[in-house]
A and B are shown apart, each in its own frame.
Chain A
Amino acid sequence: MGTVQLAASAAPKRPRGRPLALLLTYAILLIGLAVTLVPFIWILMTSLKPASEIVRIPPTFFPEQWTLNSYQTIFADPKVPLARFYLNSTFVAVARVVITLFTSSLAGYIFAKFTFRGKNLLFGFILIQLMIPFQVVMIPAYLILVQLRLIDSLWGLVIPSMVDAFGIFLMRQFISTFPNDLIDAARIDGAGEFTVYRRVVMPNLGAPLATLGIFTFMATWNDYLWPLIVITTHEKRTLPLLLTWYTSQHGQRYDLTMAASILVLLPILVVYIFFQRWIVRGVALTGMK
Chain B
Amino acid sequence: MTRAAIASDPGIGRKERTGLRPGQRAFVWGALIPIFLYLGVFALFPMIWVVVLSFFNYSPVRVGDGLLGLGGRNPFIGLGNFIAMFADTQAGQLFRISVKNTLIFAFLVLAVNLAITLPLAVLVENVHARVKGLFRAIYFLPTISSAVAVAIMWGYVFHPQQGLLNNFIKLIGLTPPKAWLTDPSAYFLGVPLAMIAVIIAYVWMDFGYNLVIFIAALQGIPHEIRDAAHIDGATGWQEFRRITVPLLQPTLLLVCTLTMISSFQVFVIFQVMTGGGPQNQTRSLTMEIYENAFRYQAMGWAASMSLVLFAMVLIVTLVQFRVLRTDWEY
A182 within 8 A of B: no
Majority SS of interface residues in chain A?
A: helix
With A140-B45, A162-B38, A283-B212 known as contacts, the answer to whether A36 contacts B138 (CB < 8 A) is yes
A284 within 8 A of B: yes
Cα distance A140–B52 when bound, in Å? 10
Contacts of A124 in B (CB 8 A): none
Over the window 56-68 of chain A, the binary record of Cβ atoms lying under 8 Å from chain B Cβ atoms (1 yes, 0 no) is 0111000000000
B28 touches A116 (CB 8 A): yes
Residue of A117, A254, A272, A287 with most chain B CB atoms under a 10 A cut-off: A287
Majority SS of interface residues in chain B?
A: helix
B144 within 8 A of A: yes
B96 within 8 A of A: no
Segment of B85-93, B265-273, B322-330 in the binding face: B265-273
Partner of A257, one of B152, B290, B307: B152
A133 touches B144 (CB 8 A): no
Q: Nearest residue in A to B312 (C-beta to C-beta)?
A: A133
B97 within 8 A of A: no
B81 within 8 A of A: no
B162 touches A54 (CB 8 A): yes
A115 touches B19 (CB 8 A): yes
Cα distance A40–B156 when bound, in Å? 11
Partner of A43, one of B148, B153, B314: B153
B144 touches A114 (CB 8 A): no
B147 touches A224 (CB 8 A): yes
CB distance from A116 to the nearest CB of B (A): 5
A21 within 8 A of B: yes
Contacts of A58 in B (CB 8 A): 167, 170
A106 touches B31 (CB 8 A): yes
Residues of B6-24 at the interface with A, using a CB-CB cut-off of 8 Å, are 17-20, 23-24
Over the window 248-282 of chain B, the binary record of Cβ atoms lying under 8 Å from chain A Cβ atoms (1 yes, 0 no) is 00000011001001101101100010000000000
Q: Nearest residue in B to A197 (C-beta to C-beta)?
A: B27
Partner of B146, one of A38, A264, A284: A264
Partner of B149, one of A17, A135, A261, A287: A261
Cα distance A64–B120 when bound, in Å? 36
Count chain B residues whose beta carbon lies closer than 8 angstroms to a beta carbon of A.
99
Contacts of A276 in B (CB 8 A): 137, 140
Residues of B106-141 at the interface with A, using a CB-CB cut-off of 8 Å, are 120, 123-124, 126-130, 135-141
A225 touches B268 (CB 8 A): yes
Q: Nearest residue in A to B39 (C-beta to C-beta)?
A: A163
Contacts of A57 in B (CB 8 A): 161-162
CB distance from B251 to the nearest CB of A (A): 9
Cα distance A188–B299 when bound, in Å? 56
A38 touches B32 (CB 8 A): no
B156 touches A43 (CB 8 A): yes
B294 within 8 A of A: yes
B245 within 8 A of A: no
Contacts of B261 in A (CB 8 A): 133
Q: Nearest residue in B to A3 (C-beta to C-beta)?
A: B220
Cα distance A224–B162 when bound, in Å? 27
Cα distance A115–B230 when bound, in Å? 50
Q: Nearest residue in A to B128 (C-beta to C-beta)?
A: A15
B188 within 8 A of A: no
Residues of A1-51 at the interface with B, using a CB-CB cut-off of 8 Å, are 3-4, 6-7, 12-13, 15-17, 21-22, 25-26, 28-29, 32-33, 35-40, 42-43, 46
Q: Nearest residue in A to B41 (C-beta to C-beta)?
A: A144
Contacts of A136 in B (CB 8 A): 47, 50, 306-307, 309-310
A284 touches B213 (CB 8 A): yes
Name A's B-contacting residues (CB within 8 A): 3-4, 6-7, 12-13, 15-17, 21-22, 25-26, 28-29, 32-33, 35-40, 42-43, 46, 54-55, 57-59, 103, 106-107, 110, 114-117, 122, 125, 129, 131-144, 146, 159-163, 165, 184, 187-188, 192-194, 197, 218, 221-222, 224-225, 229, 239-240, 243-244, 247, 254, 257-258, 261, 264-265, 268-269, 271-272, 276, 279-280, 283-285, 287, 289
Q: Which 8 A-B residue pairings sit nearest by Cβ, starting from the closest?
A: A193-B27, A140-B46, A115-B19, A284-B216, A140-B49, A137-B46, A12-B129, A240-B148
